[in-house]
Amino acid sequence: MLLVGDSGAFALGPRPIVERLGTDALTHEDRKSLAREGLLVAEEDALGQVAHGHALARRIGGAGALDYLILVPTLRCNLSCSYCQVSRVAEHSKGFDWNDRTLTAVLEIIDALEVDQIKIEFQGGEPTLRPDLIRAVIERCERFAKRQFVICTNLQRLDDEVIALFDRPDVFISTSLDGDVSTHARQRTGDAATTDTFLENLRFVVDRYGATKVSALPTVDPASLPNMDALVDSYVAHGIDSVFLRPINYQGFARKRHAEVRELDAAWRDYHAAFVRRLIERNWMDRSRVLEETYFSICLRRVFQPGADRHVDLRDPNPVGVDYVVVDYDGHVYPTDEARMLTRSGVIDLAIGDVFQGWQGDMRDQLNAHATNRFDPTCQRCAYQPFCGRDLIDDLSRYGRIDLPRHETEFCRRHLAMFDLVFELIYSEEPAVRHSLARWLRLPGTPSTFGAVLS
């Protein structure tokens, strides 16, 4: 049985220890072994108490000052995917780009940031339709000691202006690759010529910049799960080793056209688990490269390396509108990209303000009063609470409320299955499993064990 403390310390223990915990009948030996694994701190152990407090604080972390902006300079797009994750309008529509006033306000926000590092993600629409706006923002960020810009693009059109942006060492490229040619064409590009253009451009940027600068995500239709090896091979063919297996999101336009994805079922979870196991097999067969499924790796690192990833969809507490915000084409500010999609879909208006008047108001504070799982009665009884998170927007999207018992939500079911798999693999004795876990944790070697077992 898995025992987990508030700070995320964990160990497997036999049922009798758990029974003695439940009846206040721990033996001296029980206490010693629990203390050894950080699962029990004696009242007289002052150093142990401080260490536990430190571990707990590190686990809980906290959102810092605003240093992460997701910017939507245009809502226009030159593709029309059936499940578009973001709301979009046709390429030649009018009135869906930042105007001068919006750009000025965004630049003033950047000027006012009291941080020395910044990350900006350009989303859309297709942001490369307005390279001038991207350039204006990037040039305004020269004062930051550390800068990272991610341009999320469909790579359908590369011209000199866009390539000049990509050439910057602080610019990274994120795109979508849904699998083999036929899958990508069916789900995104629609025809062979458009697909060929995308694949040529993807090849161009990978060859020019190397795979470390280019990331790609597949959007997977749970109703039509792709062949795992074919999907992985399509990434490997472009030198990309990380696959973020992402089901169609129940947001934006996908909500209307793929209503069945509100609840991901066991088939999806089984597919994901099988996908991770397949990567483990392939990593063992060919140890010259490390394939990984990004979200599994994020969850794994949540167990061992709290704070290693700044993945804002899985953290606790998960306040909105504090350390990151989304600025839409019209200057409205949203807590997350999903909130923007929900608003565009007409489900609920989740704008928390705008770039002209700010967003530090009641709306944000009301949401943030519920931004932690620490006091949720269901989560308090879950072994995975220290590793898991809270996603208010996901709950609002699926159920229109945030007060459902946690174990009745898709978020909970998905992460229960995810962490079940994480811990199953942590306690696996197979060398192939330990090899992949070590690589996904970025360890230099491979430990003989990843988790303690109480005797």
Partner 1 sequence: MGTDQIEELRIGAAGPFEAALHWLIAFHPSISADGAEDGGMVLRSSLLSRSQMEDAWACALANERLLAGNAEDREAVLSTLVS
Q: How far is the CB of 34 from partner 1 (least distance, A)?
A: 12
Tell me how far, at minimum, the Cβ of 44 lies from partner 1, in Å.
16
**Which CB sits closer to partner 1, 370 or 435?**
370
Residue 405 is a binding residue for partner 1 (CB under 8 A): yes
Minimum gap (Å) between residue 22 Cβ and partner 1? 3
Q: Which of 378, 404, 413, 417 binds partner 1 (CB under 8 A)?
A: 378
The encoded tokens of residue 21 equal 């915990």
Task: Single out the residue of 237, 317, 441, 446 in contact with partner 1 (rule: CB under 8 A).
Answer: 317
Q: Are strands 353-354 and 452-453 parallel, antiparallel or unpaired?
A: unpaired
Binding of partner 1 by 445 (CB under 8 A) = no
The reply on whether position 92 binds partner 1 by CB under 8 A is no
- Options 12, 18, 115, 150; binder of partner 1; rule CB under 8 A: 18
Minimum gap (Å) between residue 249 Cβ and partner 1 = 28
Cis preceding linkage at 317, omega within 30 = yes
CA distances from 394 to 71, 258, 410 (A): 20, 16, 9
Q: Which stretch binds partner 1 (CB under 8 A): 15-23, 207-215, 248-256, 420-428?
A: 15-23
Which residues in the 46-75 window bind partner 1 by CB under 8 A?
53, 56-57, 60, 62
**CA dist list (Å): 364 to 104, 106, 367:** 24, 19, 5
For 402, residues 6+ apart whose C-beta sits below 8 A from its C-beta are 370, 392, 395, 396
* Of 345 and 372, CB closest to partner 1: 372
Strands (E), 231-354: 242-243, 246-247, 292-293, 324-327, 332-334, 353-354
Region binding partner 1 by CB under 8 A among candidate stretches 22-30, 214-222, 300-308, 419-427: 22-30
Applying CB under 8 A, among 6, 241, 323, 420 the residue interacting with partner 1 is 6
35 touches partner 1 by CB under 8 A: no
Rounded distance between C-alpha atoms, residue 157 and residue 33, angstroms: 61
- By CB under 8 A, residue 374 contacts partner 1: yes
Rounded least distance, CB 368 to partner 1, Å: 10
Q: Which member of 1, 42, 164, 267 binds partner 1 (CB under 8 A)?
A: 1
Interface with partner 1 (CB under 8 A), residue total 23
Cα→Cα distances 208→201, 216, 242, 268, Å? 10, 16, 19, 36
CB of 35 to partner 1, least distance (A): 15
Burial class (CB in 10 A: 0-12, 13-18, 19+), 336: buried
Q: Considering the complex, what minimum distance in angstroms separates the CB of residue 7 from partner 1?
A: 11
Q: How far apart are the C-alpha atoms of 295 and 90, rounded to whole Å? A: 32
Q: How far is the CB of 20 from partner 1 (least distance, A)?
A: 9
Binding letters toward partner 1, positions 407-436, x by CB under 8 A: x-----------------------------
Nearest approach in angstroms of CB 260 to partner 1 is 24
Going by C-alpha positions, the residue among 322, 449, 303 that lies closest to residue 4 is 303
Write down the least CB distance from residue 383 to partner 1, Å: 8
CA atoms within 13 A on the CB side of 324: 19
Helix axes 15-22, 28-36, angle to 10 degrees: 110
Across 275-342, the runs of DSSP E, i.e. the strands, are 292-293, 324-327, 332-334
370 binds partner 1 (CB under 8 A): no
Nearer CB in complex with partner 1: 16/95: 16
Q: Is 375 in the site for partner 1 (CB under 8 A)?
A: yes
Q: Compute φ and ψ for 332, nearest 5 degrees.
A: -70, 145
What six digits make up the tokens of 329?
């084409």
DSSP 117: E
Decide if 83 contacts 219 (C-beta within 8 A). Answer: yes
What's the token pair of residue 201? 């451009």
Q: 1 vs 193, which CB is nearer to partner 1?
A: 1
The correct pick among 104, 372, 428, 446 for binding partner 1 (CB under 8 A) is: 372
Question: Which of residues 12, 21, 158, 237 is near partner 1 by CB under 8 A?
Answer: 21
196-255: contacts with partner 1 (CB under 8 A): none
At which residue do the structure tokens 């036929």 appear? 182
Q: Rounded distance, CA 294 to CA 372, Å? A: 24
Q: Which residues bind partner 1 (CB under 8 A)?
A: 1, 6, 15, 18-19, 21-24, 53, 56-57, 60, 62, 317, 372, 374-375, 378, 380-381, 405, 407
